[in-house]
Structure 1
Amino acid sequence: MRVLTFLPIIFILSACAGPQQPVVDLTGVDMGRYSQDQAACDRERYTGQNGFIEAGNPLTNCMERKGYKILVRN
């Protein structure tokens, strides 16, 4: 019974942890370039360099704008 009491709290806390990394199709992707793009998107998310407020996960949106195929949007 106690487990059922704590489950909603766990879900709320995990949702507050911030945007998660999207699942990207890495077939044929240069991993060095991918790491650079991911870091650039991370910086953009924290500094607000894109100049507008985005709906959804800004990291996912940024990676999609850079041409990556998003398999799972987090």
Structure 2
Amino acid sequence: MLKYLAFLALLSLTACGGGEGYGRYEPPVVDSYGKKPEQLAKDQHECIEQKRANGFVGDARMVTNCMEQRGYTILTPKG
């Protein structure tokens, strides 16, 4: 019985782990000096769509790598 209660307690704690913004993807923070805001938004969108086309699986740095290939300096790398 004690194992069952410990399992339920652990399960309830993991359910709270999502927190605010759960399920919402945030792109890496980049230095966009010299780039127009419209270009940054377009590049981020295309890199995120490229990752989304892979079902959000694969290399965890896929979006970061994509943005680097487009000439951005990455300040805070993310998936």
* Fold shared per TM-score above 0.5: yes
2:26 aligned with 1:20, yes or no? Answer: yes
| Structure index of larger Rg | 2
Give the TM-score taking structure 1 as reference length: 0.61
Identify unmatched segments of 5+ residues in structure 1: 1-6
Contact 2:27 2:48 in 1 (8 A): no
How many residue pairs end up in the alignment?
63
2:38 aligned with 1:29, yes or no? Answer: no
2:51 aligned with 1:45, yes or no? Answer: yes
Give the TM-score taking structure 2 as reference length: 0.58
- Structural RMSD (CA): 2.8
SS at match of 1:44: helix
Kindly provide the amino acid, as one letter, of the partner of residue 37 in structure 1: D
Contact 1:19 1:57 in 2 (8 A): no
Contact 1:60 1:70 in 2 (8 A): yes
Query: For residues 46 and 77 of structure 2, what CA distance do their matches in structure 1 show?
Result: 18
How far residue 20 of structure 1 moved from its aligned partner, in angstroms, is 2.8
After TM superposition, the runs of 4+ consecutive aligned structure 1 residues lying more than 3 A away are: 7-10, 16-19
Over the matched positions of the two proteins, sequence identity in percent amounts to 30
